[in-house]
Chain A
Amino acid sequence: MLRTVVVKEYAELRQSPRLRWSLLALYGLFVVALLSGYRYYTYTHTARQAAQEASYRQWLGQDKKNPHSAAHYAFYAFKPVPLLAVLDKGLDDYLGTNVYLEAHKQDDVTDRAAQDAADLSRYGSLTVGFVWQYLLPLAIILLTFNLVSQERESGTLRLLLTTDTPPTTLVLGKGLAVGKVVLGWFFGPMLVLSLGALLLAGGVEETLRQLPALLVLAVGYTLFFALVIALSLAVSGRVRSSGLALVVLLGGWAFGAFLVPRLSGSVASSLYPTPSAFAFTEEITEASENGMPGVDAEKKFRSKLEAQTLRQYHVDSLSQLPVSYAGISLQASENRTYLIFDRFYGELAGTLQQQNQVRRGFNLLSPLLAMRNLSRALAGTDYDKHLDFTQQAERKRRALQKQMNDNIKAHAAPEGTYEAADELWRSVAPFRYQPLGVGTVLSRQWLSLLALLLWAGGAVALFVVSTRRLSPN
């Protein structure tokens, strides 16, 4: 019986001018989105990779010099663009792209592309993710809102309820037909086209590496579309007229897509305010000079270190040391500042994560936003990935500085006369970002996953309640 309903509804949907218009609009936008995603990836990925290689080349090209000069020269770490940014560049335009790995100082990850963009880009950019998260649900609403209510308005529902087909089968059939349209006409072909673009942009090997994330993404979207269909049908069955059903659904869509994110953003930033860049820098400078709990003030630290070193090597003056004191003191002061940077950058990242957690909590109100978060996270264009890059880059900076300082320490020579060469520069490996695994990403997105599952459960419950109590009037 269910089969017959699906076949009949599917045939009807295929005839509907609404489907034709939706297809036309969505594919038009999808093509533009996919092209600009492809362009973004190929252009930006190549540019960053080139810059990363150039920076390392410049490092290797250094003349003979004291390793501490080299430590100041250092090189840059560039955040690689993930392949799935072709589909969802997420927050990439609003996050920094590179960081300088210089001596003494943890730098900010700078160069947000949005600053170079026109003001219009603040309206959001057209990405494949945007089409799937925002527009496809809208198309589903347009295809579904009157599927039940129209039967009631034209009086056919009364007839249908007298047959021995249970109402649940009837509505489920309609839902499956819409699902068939969504997967067969919209999402499926779009996914294939996307895969083509990924292969073209990143090659076979890289695309295969992204396959698990892509698979999870496909499952996530399917669940998301299914819950939108179930909700639309539930509303269509409950509300007194088709017009009202549409208004309710469109209102819900606008609420979840536009109101919730801006509202949650202001709530999050008022609950967990971030400091100004000025205050942040001042605090770090202050702690570096005058110390903080667990860290001595600069002067005290220096005299303590001197005394400690003399004791350790059993000598009376620094000139008697078998090693270079410069190397010891440079590394010791690096170690000292690690505590300071870990605290302040840690607090800042913590505040931003708390803000994001508040936002994800709000996403319980909007499956669209939960899906958006999941998509960004899997694509590797969200804040978590950015923070991971920041931390890996900082680890590289510390390793690089330690290599330089150890080398200085091992070469006791009159102040500033020691020079290292090529060999030392080459001993530092280039920076390579190691992306997070899909499992880690998913575990950090538990709130988004929970939101999606709760909505899916809620949608099914609403669907069942609405269809059980289906009344012909």
Chain B
Amino acid sequence: MLLHIIRYDWLALRASRQLLAVLGLLAFFVGVALWNGQRHVAFQRHTLAEIQRADAHNFTQLTSAVRRIEGDTPFTGNAWENPQDAYRAGTRLASHYPALPPASLALVAVGQSDLLPYYYKPVIGKQSALYHQTEIANAETLYDGSFDLAFVLVYLVPLLVIALSYNLVSAERELGTLALLMTSNTAPRQVILGKFVFRWLLLNGALAVLLGGGLLVLGVPLRGAEQALGVLLLALVYSAFWFALAFWVNSRGYDSGTNAATLVGTWLVLVLLVPALLSAAAEALYPVPARSELTTRTRDAAAEAKNTGSQQLAKYFEDHPELAAKSAGSGAAAADDFAQNALQTQLTVDAAVRPLEQAFITQRAQQQALIARFRFLSPSVFVQQSLSAVAGTDAARYADFEQQVAAYRQQFQDYFAGKMLRHEPMLSTDYAQVPTFRFQSTPPSLLAPGTLLNLAWLLGLTVGLLALGLAGARHLRLGRG
């Protein structure tokens, strides 16, 4: 029976311009989105490759510069460019860039990857200085968001679904064919459901072809195949939800205009208003302190550091007793040491602003937790989040990267602080010993518990709407609603 319905619905669809318009738009959207996503990822990959090249070049240069000095050619340049000076090396000359390489399916969702840094240049210095390192971006583009596949799936596909289905029952009624349909042997709701199912299959079939073809053309590696299937699965279930919603709305027997208004209104609420209200609530409940406060406190702490700096250094020695023994020998002369002074100041400042820095992290985590709790209010929210997770561009991954970089900066600082406190010069062999960074992560997966829960909830909603729709379609009204 279903095949029969599908056959005639296909004929009807083919005859109208509606199908061509919807599929044409879908192809255009997916094409633009993949091109755009690919451009964004290619830019990031290119930048990271440039950085790696420059990084390697810099360390080779430094090593050979020190080797020249060791080979009895004294250093004649500016003091602050002396590659043997551990303080100069740690604050200026010798930093490795920690990088977050884009995941294989990063082109699917730009997520937070256009806003948050994907590489840093950590030096000995304020921890908070890391925050200032951001990629150049047009604020208008950041505000509006990217035209990526996630945008197509979350925002546009529902509109296409609505265009394909808002009047499936009401048009029959308005044309007078509904009465005809009701006289047939088949239950009308079966015919109507068949039409919805067919359109759902058609849309997702087209999407699968476009997405698969697009990814092949763009040369996304097969490693991404599992995730690509995940993206399709999300699209399949999410569009099913919108078709089910349209089915239910249609079954209530209102005219086409009311159906369209109801559906677009629901779209507006789920895609725009729930997220906006939720983020307004998160900001009001867990306000993040002002960054300007951090600037002020840093400077006040630095001014105070002159008095308390030695205490901080004493504390540092408690944590690192191996350094204290060697440093003690240098006696009072050490107090004059510029590098030691600078280090003292900085340890004091770091300690003074730590509670405030922590507040940023906690408040942001609280906001994110609130959103995670209430994400079920809107499928758009969690489908977007799942897509970002599959693409490896979600907030969680960037927060993880930031924390790993902070830990790395500590390691980096400890290395040079050790050198400085022991009054050791940088040797030509030392530059290879400078700690390096490698991002540790599990590859993004669809099988993450959060994503599975999202899918289950979405499926539940869809089934619920279908049941409501089927119940409603049992008593279809022939006249105006």
Contact = CB atoms under 8 A, between A and B. Distances in A.
Is chain B found bound to chain A in the same assembly? yes
Given A242-B257, A243-B257, A247-B260, A36 B136 contact: no
Interface in B281-328: 282-284, 287-288, 290-293, 295-296, 299-300, 303
Contacts of A119: 111-112, 368, 371, 385, 388, 394-395
B184 interface: no
Q: Give the interface size bracket for A toward B.
A: 35 or more
Contacts of A261: 144
A117 B257 contact: no
Nearest to A116: B288
A262 B143 CA distance: 10
Interface string A243-282: 1111100110010001101110110111001111111101
A422 to B, nearest CB: 15
Contact of B279 (A117, A273, A359): A117
Contacts of A29: 273
A76 B290 CA distance: 15
A262 B151 contact: yes
A121 B277 CA distance: 10
Contact of B292 (A48, A123, A254, A355): A48
Contacts of B156: 258-259
Q: Is the interface of B mostly helix, strand, loop or mixed?
A: helix
A369 B63 CA distance: 55
B32 interface: yes
B147 A266 contact: yes
A254 B290 contact: no
A247 B136 CA distance: 39
A329 interface: no
A275 B136 contact: yes
B336 interface: no
A181 interface: no
Interface residues of B, number: 82
A266 B32 contact: yes
Interface in A56-74: 58, 61
B288 A123 contact: no
Contact of B291 (A113, A126, A269, A278): A113
A43 interface: yes
A91 interface: yes
Given A114-B115, A118-B371, A246-B257, A262 B290 contact: no
B276 A91 contact: no
Interface stretch (A94-102, A157-165, A312-320, A433-441): A94-102
Contact of B381 (A54, A97, A120, A130): A120
Given A51-B295, A126-B273, A241-B257, 16 more contacts: A43-B290, A47-B292, A93-B143, A94-B143, A113-B291, A116-B363, A117-B283, A117-B364, A118-B279, A118-B282, A120-B371, A120-B381, A265-B146, A275-B136, A278-B97, A348-B136
Interface of B: 32, 36, 39, 43, 47, 50-51, 54, 97, 111-112, 115-116, 119, 131-147, 151, 155-156, 159, 163, 166-167, 170, 174, 255-257, 259-261, 264, 268, 271-273, 275-280, 282-284, 287-288, 290-293, 295-296, 299-300, 303, 360, 363-364, 367-368, 371, 381, 385, 388, 394-395
